[in-house]
Every structure is written in structure tokens, then in C-alpha cells.
Amino acid sequence: KGTKVRVGAVSVEWHGLLLSRDTMPDLPDGIHWSTAPVAGGFALEMTGTAPLDRFIDSEQALRNLLRIARAAELVSYSDPKKSVFRYAGIADGRLDACIFFAPPGTALPQREWAAGFLGRDITSTARLSLLSGLAPSGEAQQGPIVCSCFSVGIETISAAIRAKNLRNVAQIGAMLRAGTNCGSCIPELKKLLAAETDRLFEAV
């Protein structure tokens, strides 16, 4: 059996990531997308072949995309020179949805990290962090992320193992939540436990 297909290059103008606790928004033609569940809601990854300002041409268009109530606060960050735009819908002090846009080749905030804010109380620090795409300075020392479900970095985990004398993955999970969702970081957590045990024996 054979089916004829026509393959052609697509010129992508922007890519985006929507995280929401609500349902999928209606998307116009010309948007390529995929969706996946995340803790607290879903993620929608998109690319657009038309200029971004045709997709989000008004505040109402953004509100429809984020599916936030009229009373919800819409906060934004924009860097037009870099074509980077970020928006968040906050209702009753909690994050309902957020969306990030950037040109192809420019990274978007990490999906699981940003999803960790969904449904949570948004302090002014968290708001800044979410819109800037950077962890608050107090978390900056946590090193590369090991557990992406809960945004827990290698330094945080190693320090906790040492300070609290953690012996297994369950103890790490109880203290930091790392490893308690999808479990894909558990092999790495075991390696960190082993490395800290080795370090302890070397020091004796």
C-alpha cells in the first residue's frame, strides 16, 4: 500500500508553551501543536508560521488563549527586541495559566519547572521568577535540575543527603519531593546517594 504525500519546508515564525489548569483553547489555522499532561494541568507546545502579532493581537485574544476569567489579573513580560513575550493569568492570588513565546532557536522556560507554579499562590518573587524564566536568587545555587517534576537541583539534593544523612530515595522524596512523581529521576537520585556514601567512606 502506498499513499502519496507531499513534503515541504515550513517556515516557523515563533514557538510557544502554554501551561493551564483549564481546558484546551481553540487554536486558529496555521498553529502546529502537541499537548501533554503535567502536574496540575496540561502543557501545550505550539509553533506558528504567521507573525506572532496576528495570533495575539489583543488582550482579549490572550485571555481567550489562557482561558482566564474577566476578573483574573493578566501580567506580562515582553522583550520586543528579542521577540520574547510571557504572560500569566492569576486569579485569587493563584496561577491559572501562563504562556511563553520566543523565536525559533530561543529557549522557552522549562516545562515542568513552570508547571510547578500552576494552582499555587503566586508571591511577588514567584511572579518575577515565572515571567523572567529564572529561579529566585535563593534557589540559584541548586545546580542543574535532576528532578524536573519538582525542579530540584543536584546541589540541593546532595546537600540534603549530607545534612540529613539520607539513606534512600524515599527519604529524599519525603524531604524534597524529588522522585515522587514520574520517577524518571530515581536512577540519578540513587547515583547521588551512592556518590555521597563513597565520599563519606573516603573521608573516614
Under the rule (CB under 6 A), what is the footprint of ligand FES?
Answer: 147-149, 178-185
Q: What is the DSSP letter of 193?
A: H
Of 16 and 173, which has the nearer Cβ to ligand FES? 173
Burial of 121 (C-beta count, 10 Å sphere; 0-12/13-18/19+): exposed
CB of 90 to ligand FES, least distance (A): 26
- Total count of residues recorded for the chain: 204
CB of 139 to ligand FES, least distance (A): 16
| Closest of 119, 158, 114, 116 to residue 133, by C-alpha | 114
Give 89's contacts (C-beta < 8 A, 6+ positions apart). 63, 66, 68, 72, 73, 74, 95, 96, 97, 98
Of 65 and 178, which has the nearer Cβ to ligand FES? 178
Of 24 and 182, which has the nearer Cβ to ligand FES? 182
Q: What distance in Å separates the CA atoms of residue 200 and residue 184, rounded to the nearest whole number? A: 26
CB of 182 to ligand FES, least distance (A): 4
Of 73 and 188, which has the nearer Cβ to ligand FES? 188
Of 171 and 180, which has the nearer Cβ to ligand FES? 180
CB of 172 to ligand FES, least distance (A): 10
| 91 three-class SS | strand
CB of 146 to ligand FES, least distance (A): 7
